[in-house]
Amino acid sequence: MKVKVISRSTDEFTRERSQDLQKVFRNYDPNLRPQERATEYTRALNAAKLEKIFARPFIGAMDGHIDAVSCMAKNPNHLKGIFSGSMDGDIRLWDIATRKTVCQFPGHQGAVRGLAASTDGKVLISCGTDSSVRLWNVPFSKIIDSDESVGNASEPLAVYVWKHAFWAVDHQWDGSLFATAGAQVDIWDHNRSQPVNSFTWGNDTVISLQFNPGEPDILATSGSDRSITLYDLRMSTPARKLIMRTKTNSISWNPMEPMNFTAANEDCNCYSYDARKLDEAKCVHRDHVSAVMDIDYSPTGREFVTGSYDRTVRIFQYNGGHSREIYHTKRMQRVFCVKFSCDGTYLISGSDDTNLRLWKAKASEQLGVLLPRERKKQEYQDAVKERYKHLPEVKRIVKHRHLPKPIYKAANLRRTMIEAENRKEAKRRAHSAPGSIKIQPFRKRRIIKEEE
């Protein structure tokens, strides 16, 4: 005869304190719960609806500039500090926590086009259309104690005047060099008033550049001749050049996969490339309905944010063809610069209407400290949504986004144009000799040629 005995030790189910929760023993045998899937599906549906109800991504605007915000830079040593530069030459250091200006850096006579902070966060580098590069001392005490009154930084540490206007600047992730973009790419040292090296390839203006986060001596630039160029500071000439059909406005490297970068293009799309294989894009990210002006990767490398001329901010997965989130407000105008915060929790966008705006990276995320039970519940809801995301009702709720009417109409028009182009291509292929027209994937179609 077989006898089953329930054996429980008192320590396992006795509460230590009266405030503790009673421990519940559960049998996870699926045969005991025939309705488990139906229950989970209902929970997934409710979780998707609740996420929409609590989606409040906009936190607040940072007002202070009197002209369009043209560029921004993060401070790698301070989580809550961010720099912004405007078209009237004003540079400000903001405290994200209080959304107030901590310090101003006066001096530029024209538009500020590029900002970058040194690796240790102690020096800010700015450049602009007045053909000057200025190095500023970052006031640490004001970032830490932002209750002090707003003040101006003292005179710049150094002012280097050069022959042409500058369009962008970036500092090495690990090193003492920084690069400026303009009529050519110049490499500077903090202590020298002349560039230590200069690169040119063609006669067109270079409009953006960014150093590689994994290899300090490699940088990528984009030019007004629709090119993307890779440079290696250890070589005397540029390494490789890719020419596309439309201009690239900005470039961002993936910090977790430093061989990959994403280019924000004028044709409303973003293109992810592997720097070792530039003959085709790894992924095409499409959803914007106007030129993409700026792009920035999250510190996790799993997603990036883009700002566009169509007055919206979108968040894409690093390998996703369509955006997972779109942010817009009635007052926000054309977005010229976007940044992820250093912890990946917030986004900052700078636009034509002189404001910086602070957004949550996850629209329905609760701000503040979560209790362990709240966090577990949130994780459970995310898990059931992920499990049932392919079912039509859940999919419809999760994917739905309310769009402003102009963007909705522009997206429909753009879709119609693309479908017409595809139909025309299919008809041309059908009425041509077999094999005479090669089918080219969209990942290769926007590339004209690669030069070395």
Q: Are 364 and 54 in contact (CB under 8 A)?
A: yes
**Average pLDDT estimate for 111-116:** 94
3-state SS string for 370-439: CCHHHHHHHHHHHHHHHHCCCCHHHHHHHHCCCCCHHHHHHHHHHHHHHHHHHHHHHHHHHCCCCCCCCC
SS3 308: strand
Distance CA 225, CA 207 (A): 10
For residue 5, the model assigns a pLDDT of 82
**How many Cβ atoms are within 10 Å of 18's Cβ, its own excluded?**
5
**What is the distance of C-alpha 392 from the center of its chain?**
30
Look at residue 88 and tell me whether its pLDDT is greater than 80. yes
Question: Quick one: what percent of the chain has pLDDT higher than 70?
Answer: 97
Q: How far is CA 163 from CA 35, 99, 184, 232, 376, in A?
A: 75, 37, 11, 24, 59
Q: What is the DSSP string of 62-116?
A: E---SS-EEEEEE-TT-TTEEEEEETTS-EEEEETTTTEEEEE----SS-EEEEE
Least confident window among 278-282, 332-336, 362-366, 446-450: 446-450
Task: Encode pLDDT of 157-185 as tens digits.
Answer: 889 998 899 999 999 998 889 999 999 99
Q: What is residue 24's predicted lDDT score, i.e. its pLDDT? A: 76
The secondary structure of residue 277, as a DSSP letter, is: B
* Average pLDDT of span 98-119: 92
Residues forming beta bridges with residue 152, ordered by sequence position: 104
Q: What is the mean pLDDT of residues 243-250?
A: 94
Residue 114 pLDDT more than 90? yes
Q: Which amino acid is at 366?
A: Q
pLDDT at 203: 77
**Coil/strand/helix, residue 129:** coil
pLDDT confidence band for 144 (50 / 70 / 90): low
pLDDT in tens, 292-325: 999 999 999 999 999 999 999 999 999 999 999 9
The 10s digit of each residue's pLDDT in 40-72 is: 999 999 999 999 999 999 999 999 999 999 999
CB 346 within 8 A of CB 79: no
Helix (H, G, I), strand (E, B) or coil at 51: helix
Mean pLDDT of 98-102: 92
pLDDT in tens, 16-39: 788 888 777 778 888 888 888 999
Amino acid, res. 233: L
- pLDDT per position as a tens digit, 206-231: 999 999 999 999 999 999 999 999 99
Q: pLDDT above 90 covers what percent of the chain?
A: 70
With a cut of 90, say whether residue 406 has pLDDT above it.
yes
For the chain, list the domains and their CATH numbers.
Answer: 58-363 (2.130.10.10)
Model pLDDT, residue 4 = 82
Mean pLDDT of the chain: 91
pLDDT for residue 153 is more than 70:
no
CA distance 418 to 424: 10
